[in-house]
Amino acid sequence: MRFSSMIFGLLALAVSTVYGTALTYKLGASERACFFTNIEIAQAKIAFYFAVQSGGSFDVDYSVVGPNDKRIMEGQKERQGDFVFTAQTVGEYRFCFSNEMSTYADKMVDFEIAVEHESKSALLPQKAGSSPEQHSSLEDSIFKVSGQLSTISRMQKYFRTRENRNFSTVRSTEQRIFNFSLIEVIMMVGMAVLQVLVVRFFFQGARKGKSHIRNPFGFTLTGAPARLCMKCMGEDHSLG
């Protein structure tokens, strides 16, 4: 019990030396947004992670700028990134995202900036009477656990990003299927209405081309074509 309490205490000390910020930001169309962190100790380790969760083609431009506008890293049309670098100088570091390539699509960006500014040897106090080998073994075990936890956290972020992108693809496919089905229904209704109008036009034209006459033999020709009626009338006049 005492040994486990000591381990948890050492883990707490190890965690206390790392501070970070995890945010989700909605990057508007043609927008450029920057976030800042201040480094007070040289040779500090900075971990920078970002992932585009939704919007457009899931890509943004990014850049990391140090003090005196020194450009540390940059990239264009990246979907996600995970970087660790050493802050060589003390000062303000700027992390920027740009969506200037998009004119209408907003994008949701998850990012995290973590800073570690102490070495591990300064974190773990030695117990009186313990050998350096035991201390070193315990120290290595603790930082292995810390590394594995960091790996698990990064894997969770990766799967979350994949899930959001796949869900966005499903929603886009669903919307396209709905639009195609709607267009198909409208075309079918339009074709049915057009067929009714065409058939009606043919019947109306046929009725206008017919007439009712009485021939000289005493019976009525109903629905006879106009040419036949004129011929019968001509024969009637010739007989008279």
**Mean pLDDT, residues 163-179 taken together:** 88
Per-residue model confidence (pLDDT) at position 5: 46
Does residue 232 sit within a domain?
Answer: yes
Both 80 and 42 in one domain: the answer is yes
Does residue 216 sit within a domain?
Answer: no
Both 108 and 200 in one domain: the answer is no
Which of 110-119, 128-137, 183-192, 205-214 shows the lowest mean pLDDT across its residues? Answer: 205-214
**Mean pLDDT, residues 166-181 taken together:** 89
Confidence of residue 2 (pLDDT cuts 50, 70, 90): very low
Both 97 and 162 in one domain: the answer is no
pLDDT at 228 over 60: no
Does residue 146 sit within a domain?
Answer: yes
Higher pLDDT, 125 or 77: 77
pLDDT at 65 over 90: yes
| Residues composing the chain | 240
Percent with pLDDT over 90 in the chain = 33
Select from 91, 117, 143 the last residue of a domain: 117
Per-residue model confidence (pLDDT) at position 67: 92
Please report the DSSP string for the chain in residue order.
Answer: -HHHHHHHHHHHHHHHTEEEEEEEEEE-TT-EEEEEEEE-STTEEEEEEEEEEESTTS-EEEEEE-GGG-EEEEEEEESEEEEEEEE-SSEEEEEEEE-TT-SS--EEEEEEEEEE-S-GGGT-PPPTT--HHHHHHHHHHHHHHHHHHHHHHHHHHHHHHHHHHHHHHHHHHHHHHHHHHHHHHHHHHHHHHHHHHHHHHHHHHHHHTEEEEE-TTS-EEEEEEHHHHHHHHHHHHHH-
Per-residue model confidence (pLDDT) at position 28: 92
Instruction: Give the chain's domain count.
Output: 2
**Mean pLDDT, residues 10-37 taken together:** 75
Does residue 11 sit within a domain?
Answer: no
Confidence of residue 62 (pLDDT cuts 50, 70, 90): very high
**Residue 240 lies in domain:** 134-210+224-240
pLDDT at 238 over 50: no
Half-sphere exposure of 25 (CA within 13 A, CB side): 21
Per-residue model confidence (pLDDT) at position 186: 95
**Mean pLDDT, residues 12-27 taken together:** 67
Residue 48, domain CATH: 2.60.120.680
Does residue 190 sit within a domain?
Answer: yes
Structure confidence by residue, pLDDT tens digits, 96-142: 999 998 888 899 999 999 888 655 544 555 555 566 666 677 777 88
Both 112 and 138 in one domain: the answer is no
Select from 74, 90, 117 the last residue of a domain: 117
Both 104 and 184 in one domain: the answer is no
Please state, in angstroms and rounded to a whole number, the distance separating the CA atoms of residues 85 and 56: 29
